[in-house]
Structure formats: C-alpha cells, structure tokens
Amino acid sequence: MGTSPSQSGIARLCTFYRRETWIEGRAEDQLTDVSRFPGMQAVAGFPDLHPGRFGPVGAAFLADRIWPQLVGPDIGCGMALFRLDLPRHRLKLDKAVRRLAVLDAGAAPERAVQALAAAGLAGRIGAAGLGTIGGGNHFCELQVVAQAEPGSPLAVGTLCLLVHSGSRSLGARVLEGIGQDWRQGFAPGSAAARDYLALHDLAEAWARLNRRLIAETAAEALGADLDLVCDAVHNHLIRQGDLWLHRKGAASVAGGLVPLAGSREAESYLLATPDAVPEALASVSHGAGRRYDRSAMHGRIAKTRSDLAALSRTRFGGRVVCADRDLLIEEAGAAYKSPAMVVADLDHFGLARRLAVLEPLITWKTGGLA
C-alpha cells in the first residue's frame, strides 16, 4: 500500500495498487488534488483508478464536509448480481437476445409503481424511468459462472445477471439543482447539506430499486426466477460518526460480497470483501477501470461495418447489444484494463478474495437507436 506521510491538516492518502499496475497519471494527480481539499481526513485509491470530470473514479474520501461533486451526478450507481434458476442447457443465445429487447422499455408501469410503494418511496420520488439501464458504462449482462472457489455462493455453470446502473436523471438533477455553492463543499448541519442529503438518499434508494427492476424484467423475459446475490453501491455518501465517507466508483463492502465488472472481453468476479484494512475505508474496486477515455476509443476503432460487427461478438461466443455505434466503440473491451490484475491487487492488499469468475454471454446496452 502506498501511503503519503500524514501531517497535521493533510489527509492520509493510501493507494491499493502495486508498482507494476498501470494507473493514468492524470488520475493520480486528481487523487492528490482531492486529498488537499479543506477538511479532508483520508483518501483511498484503488487499482481501477481513472480520471473523472470532478475528481478521480475508483476512490473513497473521508471528510469533515460534504462534497457532492465527489459523488458525482449518478448518485446511487452500483453493481448488483442476481442468480437465475435457468439451467444453462435451456438457454438459446439468439432467442434470449430477442426476448431481452423488453429491457429498452424499462419496467412495466404497474410494476414500477408497486415496487416504489413496497420500498416506501411512493409520493417521495417518481416511478418514471424505473427499470431503464441508461447509457455510458451501464449494462445488464447475462453471465455464466466459469470458476468457483470454496465458499462461493455460486456453482460453476450457474446463469447470473449483473446489472450496472444508477439513478438515471434523478441523481443528475440533484447535483444540478443545488446550484453552484457545492463547489466549496457543504458544512454538515447546514440547510444545503440537509437538502442535498435528503435528495441523495432518495436517489440512492431509487437506484437500488432500479437495478432490481432491470433484473426482474430480464429474468421474466428469459422465463427464469432470480434471487439477489449482492448489490454494492459505488457512488454515494454515507455518514461515519462525525465524518462523511464519499465513494466514487469504489464499492461499499458493507454486504461482505462485491461484484467486480469485467468488460465485453473479460470476465467479471464475485469477491469476498472482509473489511480488514481500515485505510481502505470499507471500499474496493467496482470494475476493471478505464485505460482509454471515450474520445480516445474513436481513434482506435473504426466505424466500419466489420469493426462494429466484431464488437457485437465476444471471445466468449457471446453477444453485445448496443445499437448506439459510438457507445459500442466507447465501451469496447479494449477501453478497459484487465479485471484480473485489479483483483490480484485487491487480493495482494487483503481487501478482497476471489469467490467466482463469471463469463459474459449477453451484454445488453441498448437495442433501440440512440
């Protein structure tokens, strides 16, 4: 673990990647910048660290103030893994792709309203948009367990759904709606902080519900029952005594199990997360981390028919459904680092242990024209 010398008034900064792990310099600069925010107590950087708009992604920040930009616009975004009771031999890939097209419409309105009420959120936040995946790096992926370690809750051959999504336009509206004052952070107890926290908590609850409804919609389309294995939020804010823990692209280990997303060309992982290293701020990586930003990918992959066709098939024999050609290129497997290296780093520092390896079968981004 890399640790900066701690002095009075300077945050403790710990990084959890080995020397041989490539981290973009600009992301490390952002991590240092944030560690110098007034009142910052501790910062943890993980091996999927990469640059973001307001600060690094793949990090956790403990502060005596509330910094909405360190959570970002997609409040409550997270990764949820579900087990399906569908036997693999009954899965017909192309038929499943056709059936999953219902994902573009989101959850049925009656179901969305009912789920919102059951979650105690009726009248506090809208049901519109529930069950929609969104854009960017979000997806709903059908996976199969390829390897399982002792203690894994998932057996080899089990079909799963991994859902990566958040609060859609709700979280973005929260960040935009609080004006520009947030650039200096909010003092806890201030009216601004209370307003932000109330909306933040709603957006986080909505996002968790959103992931479940996406998975339920997909499972129903496949004729399968499902049960939740784990759901780990990675963009949020949570109180820790007198301090505030901000996570940006860093998964909470509160549930003891965390899904770590691979890419279209790399396996995902189920991790056991013991929370035994206080400097890691009860957080781990949530994915492989970007190697190339979105614009750089357009310079690396041509928008030819054959290149786009290649991106729609994976080395696992799977399918990628993404009618938005730009997004397909921006989210190509080549845009991401190796999740195996990320997991190796987390294991090296005692933050996570590999329980299962999952291969992608169908990645659903968007079937409609964007």
Partner DNA sequence: ATGTCC
Q: State yes or no: residue 138 binds DNA (CB under 7 A).
A: yes
235 annotated as belonging to a binding site for a ligand? yes
Task: Rule CB under 7 A: say whether 172 interacts with DNA.
Answer: yes
Token pair belonging to 186: 């909010």
Of 19 and 53, nearer to DNA (C-beta) is 53
Contact window for DNA (CB under 7 A) among 161-169, 222-230, 267-275, 300-308: 161-169
* 323 makes contact with DNA (CB under 7 A): no
- Nearer to DNA by C-beta: 172 or 228? 172
CB of 335 to DNA, least distance (A): 11
> For strand 159-165 and strand 243-248, is the pairing parallel, antiparallel, or unpaired?
unpaired
**Nearest Cα residue to 165 out of 291, 74, 37, 61:** 74
Q: Which of residues 31-90 bind DNA (CB under 7 A)?
A: 53, 57, 72-74, 77
Binding segment for DNA (CB under 7 A), chosen from 13-21, 102-110, 136-144, 151-159, is 136-144
CB of 134 to DNA, least distance (A): 2
- The reply to whether 50 sits in an annotated binding site is no
Whether 348 sits among the annotated catalytic residues: the reply is: no
**Three-class secondary structure of residue 230 per DSSP:** strand
The one catalytic residue among 236, 286, 298, 348 = 286
Candidate residues 15, 21, 137, 338; the one interacting with DNA per rule CB under 7 A: 137
The answer to whether the CB of 102 falls within 8 A of the CB of 217 is yes
| Total residues at interface with DNA (CB under 7 A) | 19
**Based on CB atoms, which residue is closest to DNA, 57 or 362?**
57
188 binds DNA (CB under 7 A): no
Any binding-site annotation on 210?
no
For residue 363, state whether it binds DNA (rule: CB under 7 A).
Answer: no
Residue 87 vs 177, nearer CB to DNA = 177
Which residues in 56-71 are b (16+ Cβ under 10 Å) and which e? bbbbbbbbebbbbbbb
Q: Is 169 in the site for DNA (CB under 7 A)?
A: yes
128 binds DNA (CB under 7 A): yes
Give the DSSP H/E element, type plus range, for residue 208: helix 191-221
CB of 352 to DNA, least distance (A): 22
Identify which range of 94-102, 116-124, 133-141, 256-264 contacts DNA by CB under 7 A. 133-141
DSSP result, 167-186: -HHHHHHHHHHT-SGGGG-B
CA separation (Å) from 249 to 70, 179, 305? 10, 24, 33
Tokens describing residue 311: 């991106």
- Nearer to DNA by Cβ, of 47 and 289: the residue is 289
HSE on the CB side for 84, CA within 13 Å? 27
Closest to DNA by CB, 73 vs 360, is 73
Is 134 one of the binding residues for DNA (CB under 7 A)? yes
The answer to whether 248 contacts DNA (rule: CB under 7 A) is: no
6 is in an annotated binding site: no
Q: Is there a contact between 286 and 250 (Cβ–Cβ < 8 Å)?
A: yes
Specify the 3-state DSSP secondary structure of 266: strand
Binding segment for DNA among 93-101, 163-171, 236-244, 257-265 (CB under 7 A)? 163-171
What's the rounded Cα separation, in Å, for the pair 15 and 13? 7
Distance from C-alpha of 3 to C-alpha of 240, rounded to nearest angstrom: 22
Q: How far is CA 288 from CA 76, 227, 293, 347, in A?
A: 19, 25, 13, 14
End-to-end CA distance of the chain: 43
Residue 227 in contact with residue 220, Cβ under 8 Å?
A: no
Residue 5 DSSP symbol? P
Residues that bind DNA (CB under 7 A): 53, 57, 72-74, 77, 128-129, 132, 134-138, 166, 168-169, 172, 175
Catalytic residue IDs = 286
Binding residues for Mn(2+): 138, 164, 234
